[in-house]
Amino acid sequence: MSDYEFQLKISQESLEFALESGRMGTWDIHIPTDEVYCSPEMLKLWGVSLQEFKNNRLLLQSKVHPDDREKMLDSIKAAIANNGVYDFEYRIVPEPGVVRWVHSRGRRTLDPVTKEPLRFAGIVYDITEKKEKEEALHRAIAARQEFFTIAGHELKTPLTCMQLQLAVLELQIKEAASEDLKSVLNPSMRKQSEHLMRITKIVDNILDETRITEGRLSLQKEAFNLTQMVKDVLSQFQVTADLAGVSIEFETTGEILGHWDRFRLEQVLLNLLINALKYGNNKPIRVLVEGRSDLATFTVLDSGKGIPSAEQTKIFQRFERGEETSRSNGLGLGLFISKTIIEAHGGEIKLESEPGKGSAFIVELPL
């Protein structure tokens, strides 16, 4: 055996070992004659022996899962007839009761003279383990979503009852308690109310995140005045801001009429106001409402520490918060939900911020 033949033999053995270790095989179809070469590794993956194969493509096709067979054949035909590239995942049944996932990739080559399809060759590899992990992950996510949905709905009823009871108790204290007793009870009641609001917001965010994941977050659009909506939300939020000793400055270019989901936009604005109150260094919050030819915008500006550019995209992602916000309470869902709501309207939420100069969250809505 010459040195060249020896090196060729070693290379061939190394390739076969690599293919077998990776549960990979190769195939090569001579299109004019329909002759097929399959590597031993591919035949082993298909559960077919060399004696059984004998250039029998129908035998190989019979091992493809019935639900995937036609799609696989159509994909091969399209690759040969069109762009020449084949890339397809499908199931095979190498033996009764055993189903495996494989990924095939191939390429068509043309006859250099006639320019007609000459060969169709490629590789196939076992991706069963990958698919099983994906399916397990999908099941885990589905189970988590189901748990969140059930837990969220189970918590909503008692939380609503507690809010009503707290409101009644506050009214009774206001009407019947002495001034000395009020001075003791009112701060405690406000604190309990804040805790209850925080828990309610977390539950609402969990339910919204579940709806978004399942594609069930719907919009109930109606015609209304955006400027008035912002004023109404600010009026409700003013009590919270006063307790924190933070003033709110409001500016507008005038009335802006549009067709949006009022409840969801109130939710977005309230979330931005809460964030500005948390991270605005107890400095005034500015709210701007502007109308342009094709856009309506509302902007919430704070004078906090600002957000580094590296974190500005991250904070809009699910369960993500910036470095500064990661030390506070919450799940990191507020901005993710807000972004989803605005994008569902065909709009956009933008962030302009520099460290030490505060942040501006700009919501743009199509008119």
Concatenated DSSP letters of 243-254? HHT--EEEEESS
pLDDT at residue 7, rounded to an integer: 45
What SS3 state is found at 97?
coil
pLDDT digits (tens, 9 = 90+) for 49-60: 888 888 788 899
On whether both 352 and 255 belong to a single domain, the answer is: yes
83, 110, 126 - which closes a domain? 126
Parallel, antiparallel, or unpaired: how do β-strands 348-353 and 359-366 relate? antiparallel
pLDDT at residue 1, rounded to an integer: 52
On whether both 179 and 98 belong to a single domain, the answer is: no
The domain that holds 18 is classified in CATH as: 3.30.450.20
pLDDT digits (tens, 9 = 90+) for 285-318: 999 999 988 899 999 999 988 888 878 778 887 6
pLDDT at residue 24, rounded to an integer: 84
On whether both 358 and 305 belong to a single domain, the answer is: yes
Work out the burial of residue 95: count CB atoms within 10 Å of its CB; fewer than 13 is exposed, 13-18 middle, 19 or more buried. Answer: exposed
Provide the residue range defining the domain that includes 50: 3-126
Position 11 pLDDT exceeds 50: no
126, 142, 165 - which closes a domain? 126
- Name the range with the highest mean pLDDT among 180-189, 202-211, 342-351: 342-351
Parallel, antiparallel, or unpaired: how do β-strands 98-110 and 117-126 relate? antiparallel
Concatenated DSSP letters of 278-334? HHSTTPPEEEEEEE-SSEEEEEEEE-SS---GGGTTGGGSTT---TTGGGSSS-S-H
pLDDT digits (tens, 9 = 90+) for 12-53: 544 454 445 557 888 898 989 888 888 888 999 999 988 888
pLDDT at residue 349, rounded to an integer: 94
The domain that holds 295 is classified in CATH as: 3.30.565.10
pLDDT at residue 185, rounded to an integer: 67
pLDDT digits (tens, 9 = 90+) for 209-224: 777 777 777 888 999 9
On whether both 276 and 347 belong to a single domain, the answer is: yes
Q: Provide the 10 A C-beta neighbour count for residue 235.
A: 10
Which tops the pLDDT comparison, 61 or 320?
61
Average of pLDDT values for 152-175?
70
On whether both 203 and 226 belong to a single domain, the answer is: no
pLDDT at residue 6, rounded to an integer: 40
pLDDT digits (tens, 9 = 90+) for 262-286: 988 998 998 899 889 888 888 999 9
- Rounded to whole angstroms, the Cα distance separating 178 from 197 reads 27
The domain that holds 168 is classified in CATH as: 1.10.287.130
pLDDT digits (tens, 9 = 90+) for 95-138: 999 999 999 999 999 988 998 999 999 999 999 999 999 888 88
pLDDT at residue 89, rounded to an integer: 94
Position 323 pLDDT exceeds 60: no
- Rounded to whole angstroms, the Cα distance separating 345 from 243 reads 33
On whether both 172 and 188 belong to a single domain, the answer is: yes
The length of the chain in residues reads: 367
On whether both 205 and 75 belong to a single domain, the answer is: no
On whether both 54 and 122 belong to a single domain, the answer is: yes
N-term to C-term CA, the chain: 81
Please state, for a pLDDT cut of 90, what percent of the chain lies above it: 34
On whether both 226 and 361 belong to a single domain, the answer is: yes
102, 126, 150 - which closes a domain? 126
Where residue 247 falls among pLDDT bands split at 50, 70, 90? very high
On whether both 56 and 12 belong to a single domain, the answer is: yes
On whether both 279 and 329 belong to a single domain, the answer is: yes
Q: Provide the 10 A C-beta neighbour count for residue 215.
A: 7
**Domains contained in the chain, number:** 3
- Rounded to whole angstroms, the Cα distance separating 99 from 351 reads 49
Looking at the DSSP bridge assignments, the partners of residue 108 are: 120
On whether both 83 and 156 belong to a single domain, the answer is: no
